[in-house]
Structure 1
Amino acid sequence: MKFFVAGGGTGGHFFPALALIECMLERGLNVEFVGSQRGIEYRFKDSIPCKAHFLKSHPFVGKGPLEKAKAVYYALTEGLKLLRHTSNAKGVVFGGYASLPLGLALSLRRKGLYLHEQNSVPSTTNTLLSKFSEKVFITFEHSRRFFPQDKVIKTGLPVRKRLLQNFIKEDIKESFGFDKGKPVLLVMGGSQGASFLNQLATEIFSSLPLQGIHITGERDKDKVESFYKERKLPVKVFAFSEDMSHIYGASDLAISRAGASSITELSLFGIPSLFIPFPFSARDHQFYNAKEIEDLGGGLVIKQEDATLQKVINGIELMLSQRDNFSRNIKRFANPYACQDILRLLVA
């Protein structure tokens, strides 16, 4: 039996797909990756540990008529090319335009299609393909309502094994040069950073006696780092990090956007989080992602238009005063065995 995994265009679709592939290879399964020539997955192609197919797929949502026509054309033509590779195959599609050709190929075969929806509000691709799928794996309970109920199984989001390490928090804090007896605030704005959060973070660290780790994205890194150095504030600045396990391990609480991967990773480490969702996320899915954590008692949500410095400080102080409760509750969300649960159903 051959397996295909498709996901890309953005990191939110690609990195969970990569985590599942790594898990499948550990099980000795024959798996190949499908992505787009124009997505983030092509830039990270050297990190894909199996045969990879990069197709001429194009985004559809939010594009003009000509771009939409091009997207449909390539989805169909590339999907038809995949037909000859998918006889007696199963595939897991992680949504987004990059995975639509594989989804169409398996839909035409009327078998072997499995979906994973990362966000609380599903992608157009997964909504379309769910009618032809065997199962739909979900991360957030909120997304259950968008799919055929007899197909939905909540597995959580796959994360890469190297992230799931055990550390002694005090030792990691010392490795960063922090005082191990004082709280560390992590601020991160997703894979591209977030100028709003970057500005807010400088105000927070200027106002509160906190140590911090601030992931800025490339654009603002030098400016933010200079700000902290000039004021001798104990904040470590990174444009991005490929060693997030140590950063999470050192952190006591976080301020973050509300992408599915960020929420899952913060949950796995039990880090109480104040989420400021990206206000222009598709169908406001980041707000609904974060709301599920707030409803569990594991974090707080403040919309960007309401995120004044004082309101954010109040949220930080509340989470610090009840950190153990928040930490315990946010841990209830994540499933560290998401990959294994998906494979149990896929290989059955």
Structure 2
Amino acid sequence: LGDYLESEGWEIFYLIGGSKLKLEENGEIYNIKISSPLVGNLFKRIKSIWELKISFVKSLMLIKKLRVDLILAGGSYASFPAICASIVVKTPFYLLEQNVLPGLVTKIFSPYAKAVFTGFEATKNYLKGNIVHTGNPIRKKALLKIDKIEAKRKLGIPDYKKMVLVVGGSMGAYSVVNAIIPLIEELNDFYFIIQTGKKNFGYFSDKMGVKGKNHMLISFIEDMGLYYSAADIVISRAGASAVTEIAYHSLPAILIPYPHSRDRHQYYNAKVLADCGMAIIVEEESDMPDRIKTAIKNFEALRKEHKECKIYKPDCLQIIREVIEKNGTFQKG
């Protein structure tokens, strides 16, 4: 979204709750140190409240210093101080909610936002205010679609093998990859490409080798469109972006929602594809490897039965820009 708005002549500043952000284009990055006050022991919660106060002051100073015209905020707790600061100085703010089930910050501030842009239609049932369903944007490198056989040949995958793409987000998913390992030799008709995440790549490459007869390990996949094009089935967590990309490529999926979030929001994202017949939801439990194996073996039935799930809107970025420009809440840089 930031890259697109910059290409339209906007001046963009990023305020993030951490130190890691990779930008495809230009943009100034400012960091705030913040953690959720809703988790951890008493000491951590007190520390989090103190960080919130400091982050609020820093956000307030940045809004004034940079002469910010509007705030576009995600629904995580990291956006809380910036939203509070924008209210104090009467700077308009908009909310971006990618998940079906909105976060606490989005729920609190949605009645006061100029608009809330949602990735899923069902999100409006949980919110008040001006709700605009835009769909979730897809990163440029995931939009590519090419012929499946051509994509497999580019990746060195035999034409006669079905390709299983295993992704767990940028950090990988240790438990998911562990569940896949015993299946690789057993399911000889399939070739597994597994994104381990940079943190886990060394461990898994030592354990099973970077490349074998039926598998290839990758720490992080940049050209996602190429890998989606080659895939016959995807095994993934159910983050909003992953669900949107899988639907865009119309791929059968085995979705394993992250089990440790407070509100199980990934389950509700996964259910969107499951309700379309595109996905099977597998909970992270003791029988997970067996359930994954059964789903892979039956993927042809899933592929034939699933309906197209149109949750991606090609003009989602334009919709966001047009709503903001219609409100007249900014001047281009």
TM-score over 0.5 for the pair: yes
CA apart distance, 1:185? 0.5
Q: Secondary structure at the match of 2:12?
A: strand
Distance 1:310 1:277 in 2: 17
Partner residue in 1 for 2:331: none
Contact 2:14 2:30 in 1 (8 A): yes
What's the % identity of the aligned pairs? 25
Of 139, 146, 149, 1:167 maps to 146
AA aligned to 1:167 is I
AA aligned to 2:142 is L
After the TM superposition, which of the residue ranges 157-166 and 223-232 deviates more from structure 2?
223-232
Distance 1:79 1:227 in 2: 45
Of 170, 177, 185, 2:164 maps to 185
Paired residues, number:
322
The answer as to 2:319 corresponding to 1:338 is: no
Distance 1:182 1:48 in 2: 38
Distance 2:101 2:237 in 1: 16
Q: Secondary structure at the match of 2:263?
A: helix
Q: TM-score, normalised by structure 2?
A: 0.87
Structure 1 segment 238-249 matched on structure 2, within 5 A: 238-249=218-229
Gaps of 5+ in 2: 327-333
Residues 321 and 182 (structure 1), Cα distance of their counterparts in 2 relative to 1, 3 Å cut: farther
Following TM superposition, the consecutive aligned residue runs of length 4 or more in structure 1 with deviations greater than 4 angstroms are: 45-48, 85-88, 226-232
Structure 1 segment 77-92 matched on structure 2, within 5 A: 77-85=57-65, 89-92=69-72
Of 8, 23, 37, 2:4 maps to 23
Q: Secondary structure at the match of 1:237?
A: strand
Of 176, 181, 184, 1:205 maps to 184
Q: Secondary structure at the match of 1:204?
A: helix
AA aligned to 1:342 is I
Structure 1 segment 50-69 matched on structure 2, within 5 A: 50-63=27-40, 64-69=44-49
Determine which structure has the larger helix proportion and give its number.
Answer: 1
Distance 2:87 2:281 in 1: 38
The answer as to 2:15 corresponding to 1:34 is: yes
The answer as to 2:247 corresponding to 1:267 is: yes
AA aligned to 1:329 is E
AA aligned to 2:173 is A
Gaps of 5+ in 1: 1-19
Residues 230 and 264 (structure 1), Cα distance of their counterparts in 2 relative to 1, 3 Å cut: closer
After the TM superposition, which of the residue ranges 238-247 and 279-288 deviates more from structure 2?
238-247
Map Cα deviations across residues 36-90 of structure 1 (whole Å, 9 max, x no partner).
3xx1xx3235655122322344433314332232133123312321342476712
Contact 1:58 1:70 in 2 (8 A): no
Residues 140 and 33 (structure 1), Cα distance of their counterparts in 2 relative to 1, 3 Å cut: same
AA aligned to 1:24 is L
CA apart distance, 1:218? 3.1
Of 51, 54, 74, 1:94 maps to 74
Q: TM-score, normalised by structure 1?
A: 0.83
Contact 1:137 1:154 in 2 (8 A): yes
Partner residue in 1 for 2:115: 135
Map Cα deviations across residues 117-164 of structure 1 (whole Å, 9 max, x no partner).
11222223222222320111112344323210x411221112222332
The answer as to 2:85 corresponding to 1:108 is: no
Contact 1:182 1:211 in 2 (8 A): yes
Distance 1:230 1:242 in 2: 17
Partner residue in 2 for 1:12: none
Partner residue in 2 for 1:145: 125
Q: CA RMSD in A?
A: 2.5
The answer as to 2:141 corresponding to 1:156 is: no
Q: Secondary structure at the match of 1:329?
A: coil
Distance 2:71 2:246 in 1: 28
Q: Secondary structure at the match of 1:184?
A: strand
The answer as to 2:21 corresponding to 1:44 is: yes
Q: Secondary structure at the match of 1:207?
A: coil
Distance 1:224 1:57 in 2: 32
